[in-house]
Amino acid sequence: MDEDAILTADMAVLMQVATPMLQAEDSRLATAALLVRRLQTNAEEEQEFKKILRLLATTCSSDQFLLDMMLELLMTVEHKVPVINSIALAAAGSSAEQLSPVLDTYRDLLNSDRDLLVPIIGSISELDLSISQRESFLELISGSLKVVKDQDVPVVVNAMLQITTQSNACHIAARMFQLKSLTFYMDL
């Protein structure tokens, strides 16, 4: 399948052809780059967009090239949440050093769009972070507690529990009590 076909094929054909190309070492990177380019056009419906992301993340996980492309994609597409949700899968097996750009990108996104807080928290909680990255993440969550909506409290609490270590457990428990919904339930 040539470049134009990957960029324009209908979804059924694309999935059938792109999967073996992503699994083959000699065509993986070129095919992944074309699929990312296709996603950057924002021409896909959200469900199709998600299918392509899932295909990329599952066939190219722990590939630094893909992780870098997904971070670039995140900054250029309108469907940011599916990309954020796919990054944890794409980053499976990545080292703490490889995850640093992910955390930096997430911080930048949060500075510009607070509506991405919960998806970013959910994604970060699934990453295999170093202790110092966990502490940094805790500060990110702690600084954002004031804007958490009641329906998002379970995601935030789960993320905070994911980063709990012996040294920060008391700090995390204290931060959880700051959540207005948890305080309400504790008063019952």
> Whole-number mean pLDDT of the chain?
82
Residue 163 and residue 125: Cα distance in Å, rounded? 7
Q: Quote the DSSP letter at residue 169.
A: H
Encode pLDDT of 34-93 as tens digits.
999 999 987 788 899 999 999 998 887 777 888 899 999 998 898 899 999 999 888 888
* Opening angle at CA 150, ends 145 and 154, nearest 5: 80
Encode pLDDT of 124-165 as tens digits.
888 888 888 887 777 777 666 667 777 777 777 777 777 777
Q: Which two tokens stand for residue 3?
A: 């470049």
pLDDT at 185: 47
Integer angstrom CA distances of residue 94 from 11, 60, 154, 176: 29, 12, 27, 29
Our CA dihedral for 76, 129, 160, 148, rounded to 10 degrees, sits at -10
For residue 114, give the amino acid letter: R
156: nearest Cα among 180, 122, 132 = 122
Integer angstrom CA distances of residue 174 from 17, 128, 131, 138, 160: 52, 24, 19, 12, 11
Contacts of 125 (CB under 8 A, 6+ apart): 158, 159, 162, 163
pTM of the model: 0.79
First to last CA, the chain: 62
* Opening angle at CA 82, ends 45 and 8, nearest 5: 35
pLDDT at 147: 72
